[in-house]
């Protein structure tokens, strides 16, 4: 199951991203068009932070930009073609941030330092609107489970009980569906580095975290039948004595 989860990600950050600092006039023009169109659509202020893959080949007639909503600091992608048609995922990323805020609050309650990146697996696709609530989305999408990547600073107080409590509190607030969480635990210096990267992305592909020196990963899953793993198994993984694949 974990291998499947690793393949699923709403937004994958492009490998080559060019900062707009010192960019060409073409990049500046592209950014201005996208910012103005988004502002007209949502009545908010936006800033194109990075430009990724650009048109110029037979197979690519679009340019991908990474945009920040200035009021909320939410990052998302906007893709524009040569006819200036724009496809973006701002409503979806606003919704994902609402889900992530639930996990982040639960993390804060445990006195831990971390951020959450959510992927939802709906039974049926639905149109996501800018102001859609968590409750409305779960009801309409019939979501079967939620997976969250949690990037966490190493702390001696981390225990199986705390990691399970974070998942349990989120599960209770969502009133189902099943939740699985991968905790990526980093020591201080590497945690700072990975957060510098996370500030630039709309969402994360788990494989991008593997390029950093993480201390360990811990997988916790909660279904309607309860937690899949015992405290003992989770604590073993926290201590480096086992991993998800070897225990299943």
Q: What is the CATH number of the domain that holds 55?
A: 3.10.450.570
Pick the residue with more confidence: 4 or 28? 28
Pick the residue with more confidence: 49 or 242? 49
The answer to whether residues 65 and 134 belong to one domain is no
DSSP H or E stretch at residue 192: helix 188-198
Can you say whether the dihedral through the CA atoms of 172, 175, 176, 179 is positive or negative? Answer: negative
Residue 79: which region, alpha, beta or left (left: phi > 0; alpha: psi -120 to 50)?
A: beta
The answer to whether residues 156 and 48 belong to one domain is no
CA distance 126 to 92: 11
The answer to whether residues 123 and 46 belong to one domain is no
The answer to whether residues 80 and 125 belong to one domain is no
Give whole-number Cα distances, 36 to 28, 40, 51, 168, in Å.
Answer: 12, 6, 16, 42
DSSP H or E stretch at residue 231: helix 231-238
The answer to whether residues 129 and 191 belong to one domain is yes
pLDDT in tens, 188-222: 999 999 998 888 777 777 888 988 999 999 999 99
The answer to whether residues 67 and 135 belong to one domain is no
The answer to whether residues 130 and 201 belong to one domain is yes
* Tokens matching residue 113: 């330092």
> Does the pLDDT at position 91 exceed 90?
yes
The mean pLDDT value of the chain amounts to 84
The answer to whether residues 142 and 218 belong to one domain is yes
Q: Average pLDDT of 140-156?
A: 93
The answer to whether residues 69 and 51 belong to one domain is yes
- Domain residues for the domain of 104 are 2-9+92-247
Q: Average pLDDT of 35-49?
A: 96
pTM summary value: 0.82
The answer to whether residues 116 and 203 belong to one domain is yes
CA distance 27 to 22: 10
214: domain CATH number? 3.10.310.80
The answer to whether residues 23 and 120 belong to one domain is no
Q: Which of 40, 67, 88 is the last residue of a domain?
A: 88
The answer to whether residues 66 and 96 belong to one domain is no
CA distance 17 to 64: 9
Cβ(34)–Cβ(48) below 8 Å: yes
Q: Residue 33 has what pLDDT?
A: 95
Going by pLDDT thresholds of 50, 70 and 90, the confidence category of residue 19 is very low
* Tokens matching residue 136: 């409305």
């Amino acid at each position: 199951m974990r291998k499947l989860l690793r393949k699923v990600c709403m937004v994958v950050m492009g490998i080559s991203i060019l900062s707009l600092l010192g960019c060409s006039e073409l990049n500046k023009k592209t950014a201005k068009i996208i910012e103005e169109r988004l502002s007209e659509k949502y009545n908010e202020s936006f800033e194109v932070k990075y430009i990724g893959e650009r048109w110029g080949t037979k197979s690519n007639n679009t340019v991908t930009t990474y945009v920040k909503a200035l009021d909320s600091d939410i990052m998302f992608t906007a893709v524009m073609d040569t006819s200036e048609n724009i496809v973006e995922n701002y409503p979806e990323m606003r919704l994902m941030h609402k889900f992530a805020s639930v996990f982040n609050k639960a993390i804060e309650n445990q006195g831990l330092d971390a951020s959450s990146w959510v992927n939802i697996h709906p039974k049926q696709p639905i149109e996501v609107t800018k102001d859609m609530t968590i409750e409305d989305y779960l009801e309409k999408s019939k979501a079967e489970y939620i997976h969250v990547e949690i990037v966490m600073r190493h702390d001696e107080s981390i225990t199986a009980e705390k990691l399970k409590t974070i998942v349990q509190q989120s599960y209770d607030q969502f009133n189902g569906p099943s939740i699985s969480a991968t905790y990526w635990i980093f020591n201080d210096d590497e945690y700072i580095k990975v957060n510098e990267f996370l500030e630039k992305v709309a969402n994360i592909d788990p494989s991008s975290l593997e390029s950093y020196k993480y201390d360990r990963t811990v997988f916790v899953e909660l279904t309607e039948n309860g937690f899949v793993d015992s405290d003992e198994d989770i604590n073993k993984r926290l201590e480096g004595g086992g991993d998800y694949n070897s225990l299943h």
